Amino acid sequence: MAMDLSISRFWRKKVSLYRLYGSRCKACGKVHYPPKKACPYCGSRDLELIELPKKGKLLSYTTIYAVPEGARLKSPIYFGLIDLGVTKVVAELTDVVDKNSLKEGIEVEAVLRKTHEDRDSGLIYYLLKFRPAMVHR
């Protein structure tokens, strides 16, 4: 079959990848994303799913030219470390006009975009990326 990517592996993670659901530890209060089975900080298994804020601040970023197989057509890839307040996440950045639009401290917001197309007949995978926040009158 002409597919390289797993269907179920992505599908299991929908709630994190589509809706930015993370996990909050009821024991120590810390939040992590995506959800693990125990709190990576204190080890407690008393966790609850929470929807993370979709807006945050860019803490660090990079423009990637050494792209992996399959991503040549999308080069350069922008990648960033984002502070959402309750926790930090890493995500691909999109709608980046050029590398000069990326600066520490700018506001970024989550948008749904394509991440992979599995050849010509496999599935299309979508997830949330972040873009420099729109100015909204």
- Look at residue 118 and give its three-state secondary structure: coil
Among 56, 89, 108, 130, binds other proteins (CB under 8 A): 89
Instruction: Tell me if residue 16 falls in helix, strand or coil.
Output: helix
Question: Is residue 57 involved in binding other proteins (CB under 8 A)?
Answer: no
Q: Residue 122 class from Cβ within 10 Å (0-12 exposed, 13-18 middle, 19+ buried)?
A: middle
CA distance 72 to 49: 35
Phi, psi of 95 (to 5 degrees): 55, 35
In this structure, the number of other CB atoms found within 10 A of the CB of residue 67 comes to 13
Member of 27, 34, 100, 108 binding other proteins (CB under 8 A)? 34
Does 1 contact other proteins by CB under 8 A? no
Distance CA 133, CA 126 (A): 20
Please report whether residue 27 would count as binding other proteins according to CB under 8 A: no
Is residue 26 near other proteins by the rule CB under 8 A? no
| 18 or 26: CB nearest other proteins | 18
Q: Which of 95, 100, 107, 130 binds other proteins (CB under 8 A)?
A: 95
Which residues here bind other proteins, judged by CB under 8 A? 9-10, 13-14, 16-19, 32-34, 40, 59-74, 77, 79-82, 87-92, 94-95, 97, 99, 104, 111-116, 119-120, 124-127, 129, 134-137
